[in-house]
Amino acid sequence: MMMPRGLCADRVNGRGQAVKQAVIREQVIERNIWIDRPRERVWAAVTDPGQIMHWFAPDTAAVPVRQDENGKLTVYAGDMAIDIAVIEVCEPPRYFTTRSLPDRVLTTRYWLDEVRGGTQVTVRMGGLEALPPEVRQQHLEVDTVGWEQALKNLEAYVCGLPVPFPQGF
């Protein structure tokens, strides 16, 4: 679901005149899933570089992801190293935030809450409003489906089942 945020409002200037004030609306993709596994298990799958590709991009699970001392996540494919994100906030085992690299425009937030003996995972991707309109629309279309599939893969992975979307995100 795309969730618009922000307002477009009138304000009054110093002369008492109404002035239109445009405020950019934040555009967000938010998805969640309940997983019948303890939060610590789900946290490990979501934050351990050795496990991420098994549910996020299973077809490339053999491609290593490494995290450096500054929280930067890098994918290694042959001789290529691709910096994909940096972890900005990490509050184990409940919350963490990543920013896309190299531009840091997109922010992805992950919440893991203990609910009914399992884990409620909420993923919220923001920053889309900073992208050019055609790029934003592509992200809205692709990433909305991508997160739905990735979360279903995450559930299957932590439950020891085959992932339903081997192509991943």
Residue 14: its pLDDT value, please? 61
In a domain? residue 66: no
In a domain? residue 165: no
In a domain? residue 131: yes
Q: Is pLDDT above 90 for 2?
A: no
In a domain? residue 56: no
Question: DSSP readout, the chain?
Answer: -B--B---EEEE-TTS-EEEE--PPB--EEEEEEESS-HHHHHHHHH-HHHHHHHHSGGGTTS-EEE-TT-EEEEEETTEEEEEEEEEEEETTTEEEEEETTT---EEEEEEEEETTEEEEEEEEE-GGGS-HHHHHHHHHHHHHHHHHHHHHHHHHHTT---S-TT--
In a domain? residue 3: no
Total of domains in the chain = 1
* pLDDT tens digits for range 5-46: 443 345 555 666 665 555 557 799 999 999 999 999 999 999
pTM: 0.83
- Give residue 4's pLDDT band: very low, low, confident or very high (50, 70, 90): very low
* pLDDT tens digits for range 132-153: 999 999 999 999 999 999 999 9
* pLDDT tens digits for range 43-85: 999 999 999 999 999 998 888 999 999 999 999 988 999 999 9
The CATH number of residue 99's host domain is 3.30.530.20
In a domain? residue 141: yes
> Containing domain of residue 20, as a range?
9-49+85-158
In a domain? residue 4: no
Residue 17: its pLDDT value, please? 62
In a domain? residue 65: no
Residue 36: its pLDDT value, please? 98
* pLDDT tens digits for range 103-134: 999 999 999 999 999 999 999 999 999 999 99
